[in-house]
Chains A and B, each alone.
Chain A
Amino acid sequence: MTGPADTAEAGATSAPVSGRDEPEPALRTSSLRKTYGGTVAVADVDLWVPRGAVVGMLGPNGSGKTTTIRMLLGLTEPSSGSVELLGHRMPDQSGRALPSVGALVEGPGFHPFMSGRRNLLRCAAMEPALYGSDIATAVRQALERVGLVEAAERKYRSYSLGMKQRLGLAAALLVPRDLVVLDEPTNGLDPAGTREIRRIIAELHANGTTVVVSSHLLSEVEATCTHAAVLQAGSLIAQGELATLLESGGPNLLLRVSDNDSGLEALRQSGIPARVELGELRVELSETDAPEVVAALVHAGIGVHEARRDRAGLEEIFARLTEGES
Chain B
Amino acid sequence: MRRRNIALTASAGVAAGALGLTSMTLPAGAQSPQLPQVSADELVASVMESDPPALAGRITVHNELGLPALPGAGEAGELLSGGDKSMRVWYDGQQRQRISMSNGSGETTVVDDGNTVWKWDSAERTVVKYSHGESSQGESGTKRPDAGTPAAPSEIAQPSEIAQRLVGKLRDTSTVQVDGTASVAGRDAYELVLTPKPNERTKLREVRIAVGAESRIPLRVEVNTNGSSDPALRAGFSELSTGEQDAELFQFTPPEDAKVRTPEKPEERSSAPSRQGSSDSGDDNRPRTEGTGWDTVVLSRLPENAMRSSAGDDEQSAPGAAEAGGTGVRAMAERMGSPVSGSWGHGWVINTSVGSAVLTSDGRVAAGAVPQQVLIEALRDS
Contacts and interface: CB of A to CB of B under 8 A. Distances in A.
A and B touch in the complex (CB under 8 A): yes
A320 B171 CA distance: 105
A92 interface: yes
A91 B1 CA distance: 9
Nearest to A77: B3
Contacts of B2: 92
Interface in B1-46: 1-3
Contacts of B3: 77, 91-92
Nearest to A91: B3
A106 B2 CA distance: 26
The size bracket of the interface on B is under 10
Contacts of A91: 3
A179 to B, nearest CB: 22
Contacts of B1: 77, 92
Interface in A54-101: 77, 91-92
Nearest to B4: A77
B2 to A, nearest CB: 5
A31 B196 CA distance: 83
Interface string A91-121: 1100000000000000000000000000000
Interface in A177-207: none
A91 B4 CA distance: 11
Contacts of A92: 1-3
B260 to A, nearest CB: 58
Nearest to A74: B3
A77 B3 CA distance: 9
B9 to A, nearest CB: 15
A88 to B, nearest CB: 13
A92 B6 CA distance: 11
A164 B2 CA distance: 35
A94 to B, nearest CB: 10
Nearest to B2: A92
Interface string B132-174: 0000000000000000000000000000000000000000000
A288 to B, nearest CB: 52
Nearest to A93: B2
Nearest to B1: A92
Contacts of A77: 1, 3
B5 to A, nearest CB: 10
A267 B3 CA distance: 62
Interface in B280-312: none
B10 to A, nearest CB: 16
B45 to A, nearest CB: 75
A91 B2 CA distance: 9
A145 B312 CA distance: 90
A233 B177 CA distance: 85
A77 B7 CA distance: 13
A323 to B, nearest CB: 38
A77 B6 CA distance: 14
A92 B2 CA distance: 6
A34 to B, nearest CB: 15
B103 to A, nearest CB: 47
B1 to A, nearest CB: 7
A227 B143 CA distance: 96
A106 B1 CA distance: 26
A77 B1 CA distance: 10
A210 B370 CA distance: 94
B219 to A, nearest CB: 59
Interface string A139-159: 000000000000000000000
A92 B5 CA distance: 11
A109 B2 CA distance: 27
A63 to B, nearest CB: 27
B350 to A, nearest CB: 64
B4 to A, nearest CB: 9
A46 to B, nearest CB: 21
A85 to B, nearest CB: 15
B214 to A, nearest CB: 61
A80 to B, nearest CB: 11
A83 to B, nearest CB: 13
A92 B3 CA distance: 7
A232 B363 CA distance: 95
Interface of B: 1-3
Q: 5 shortest A-B CB distances, which residue pairs?
A: A92-B2, A77-B3, A91-B3, A92-B1, A92-B3
6 contacts: A77-B1, A77-B3, A91-B3, A92-B1, A92-B2, A92-B3
